[in-house]
Structure 1
Amino acid sequence: MSLDGLTFQVGALTVTVHQGRVPEGADCWDANWLEVAAEVDLPGQAWVRATGSFLMTSELAGFLTELRRMNETLTGTADLHPLEPNLRVRLKCGSTGEILTEIELTPDHLTQTHTFKLQLDQTYLPGIIRQLETILERFPVRGRPD
């Protein structure tokens, strides 16, 4: 099943969820992996894309929790730090409402490193939160690790 358009964006990063890797999985480890495409596109500067099963619903849920807290307090950090090394995202609130954003994305962590440092502001947070909520409504966290 293709779910083109089920995405979240953080600045120049777009992550599209296509499907669950094991949609009928009963085990929390199998059931929560997502097939995704992640892309950073900075026209005229850089373009990097990675695809595969390198993101879990539980990781998105943790990121969403941190983003909600950041949006309420306009302080702190929010990290998306999956088990797989293809994607890392860190947002850190600055003192004047700016959000310093660091994105690491690579299709092959053994041979490549791509790091992007961007500046956003707090007005981006509600949109990212809504996008993650939509993804997690479709792909809720299932089961618990034992």
Structure 2
Amino acid sequence: MSLEGLTFQVGALKVTVHQGPLIEGEDFWDANWLDVAAEVDLPGQAWVHVTGPFLMTSELGGFLTELRRMNETLTGTADLHPLEPNLGMHLECGSTGEILTRIELTPDPLTQTHTFELQLDQTYLPGIIRQLETILERFPVRGRPD
């Protein structure tokens, strides 16, 4: 099965799924980890690249729910804060449609911190939502966190 097109992008952050769940079955805590690559590339300023199984389908699902709500109301926040500390993201919709975006990305959370603050606008939301929907259609959340 091709994983082509299984990418979502938020401003300068690009996250690509390289492999679906690493463990078969329906155990929530084992069967929802994705092997991904995430990078922020700001030419001439900074480049941070992280790979590994540090993102769960359920975390993407929660982020998608918050983004949909933000897109409908053009207010509020959306957060992606996975269990693994390699990636974090906070989006906040301002009163004129701007979206203040804070991205934290690091290959080694014990020795490095990389924080990026970007400004987007609400026109980015539908594309991000579609990209996340495509990933979650291919790799739906399995099991339940009991």
Question: Structure 2 length as normaliser, TM-score?
Answer: 0.96
Q: What amino acid does structure 2 have at the position aligned with 1:55?
A: L
Q: How far apart are the structure 2 equivalents of 1:94 and 1:132? A: 22
Equivalent pairs counted in the alignment come to 146
In the other structure, the counterpart of 2:144 is: 144
Runs of 4 or more above 6 Å deviation: none
Distance 1:21 1:139 in 2: 8
Between the aligned partners of 1:138 and 1:66, the Cα distance in structure 2 is 20
Q: Is the Cα contact below 8 Å between 1:57 and 1:141 reproduced in 2?
A: yes
CA contact 2:21–2:139 (8 Å) conserved in 1: no
Q: Does 1:75 align with 2:75?
A: yes
Q: Does structure 2 retain, via aligned residues, the 8 Å contact 1:20–1:31?
A: no
Equivalent runs, 1:5-20 vs 2, <5 Å? 5-20=5-20
| Residue 91 of structure 1: aligned partner | 91
- List runs of 5+ in structure 1 lacking aligned partners: none
Query: Quick check: 1:118 aligned with 2:145?
Result: no
State the distance in 2 between where 1:60 and 1:130 align.
Answer: 12
Identify the residue that residue 56 of structure 1 maps to in structure 2: 56
Asked if the contact 1:2–1:19 (Cα under 8 Å) also holds between the matched residues in 2, the reply is: no
Q: What value does the CA root-mean-square deviation take over the aligned residues?
A: 1.1
Structure 2, unmatched stretches of 5+, are none
User: How far apart in 1 are the matches of 2:5 and 2:126?
Assistant: 18
* Alpha-carbon displacement from aligned partner over 1:24-57 (angstroms, at most 9, x marks no partner): 2331111100000000000110000000010000
Given that residues 4 and 16 in structure 1 are in contact (C-alpha distance below 8 angstroms), is that contact kept between their aligned partners in structure 2? no
SS at match of 1:16: strand
